[in-house]
Amino acid sequence: MGKIKKIGVLTSGGDAPGMNAAIRAVTRTAIYNNLEVIGIRHGYQGLINANFKPLHAHSVSDIIQRGGTILKTARCEAFKTPEGRLSAYNNLKEAQIDGVVVIGGDGSFTGARIFNEEYDIPFVGVPGTIDNDIYGTDYTIGYDTALNTVVQAVDKIRDTASAHNRMFFIEVMGAEAGFIALYSGIATGAEAIIIPEIKGQARNLKEMIESGNTRKKSSNIIIVAEGDEEGGAFAIAEKVKEDFKDYDIRVTVLGHLQRGGSPSAIDRVNASRLGHAAVEALLDDQKSVMVGLIHDEISLVPFAKAVKLHKNVNMALVEIARILSV
């Protein structure tokens, strides 16, 4: 515990509601333990540019309810190079930063893992991504808020779909994982859910919603994860429109709407727990690990596992969605 005197905190990759709650928790937990805290702006790019600013207890007042990230975030190609990482290391040493908390997704953790293989400044990760697709944790910051945003949007779309006898293909985020699509599809009573984990769903779409048509449904909602093999909602709608001539087919892409907004209570609480745990991990001489939540308990997962292993959707939920759509 004695060797950690000053820590840095950064947010990297896509923003997610609850990141500010995590920044707040990191900052105040560090201060409680008599540590200095440095905010690193614009993610790994901020490490390379030495874009540092001290954080105090008042610096993180009135941010727990705000979406986005007060430290900003960015993609950084330079950190993928040895030269970029060396520059980051030199800046950290010059600023006397003894450890870094990285709030982000698997790409962010990949960079942290490589850095820790090369240099002696420990990095600890906090999972922050709306996709909820990181191995080693049941929960990622921002997922609950994004899920509720999707549900609210689909509920509104259902109203107009029913009024006009329309079939809506609604594309949600999830380039490589269908967690948002699956959970929002069940929560909104979608007639079909298309996710990248299951191949060939688009080709079987007519069969998937046939039973609903026999009951003369006035609307059909099909949730499509953006990473589907068929090319997303627009491509699927175009391919199947001849099968559904009785419906006025429309497509809605929710896009970055899902990233914004005030974080839910669950995201605020869990982000606070994970931010606190990240500082405790640094004080416990941990490095190259992610703090996660497994069965609602804090767990430490090596970066190597978090980024290399795949988190699967619950196939029992896929079957439940199929049964309840009849």
Report how far residue 318's alpha carbon sits from residue 302's, in angstroms, rounded to the nearest whole number.
29
φ and ψ at 309, to 5 degrees?
-90, 150
CA distances from 240 to 204, 205, 209, 272, 285 (A): 10, 8, 12, 45, 56
The CA-to-CA distance between both ends of the chain, in Å, stands at 58
Write out the DSSP string of 172-224: ES-SS--HHHHHHHHHHT-SEEE-TTSTTTGGGHHHHHHHHHHTT-S-EEEEE
Catalytic residue among 131, 144, 228, 267, which? 131
Helices (H), 63-198: 82-94, 106-118, 143-164, 179-188
Q: Which residues contact 305 (CB under 8 A, 6 or more apart)?
A: 135, 136
Report how far residue 273's alpha carbon sits from residue 307's, in angstroms, rounded to the nearest whole number.
22
Q: Are 5 and 23 in contact (CB under 8 A)?
A: no
Residue matched to tokens 């960015």: 74
Report how far residue 33's alpha carbon sits from residue 47's, in angstroms, rounded to the nearest whole number.
24
Report how far residue 234's alpha carbon sits from residue 250's, in angstroms, rounded to the nearest whole number.
9
Nearest Cα to Cα of residue 104 among 124, 88, 81, 121: 124
Give the CA dihedral 132, 138, 139, 144, nearest 10 degrees: 80
User: Looking at this protein, which amino acid is placed at residue 292?
Assistant: G
Active site residue 131: yes
Q: Are 194 and 204 in contact (CB under 8 A)?
A: no
Active-site residue numbers? 131
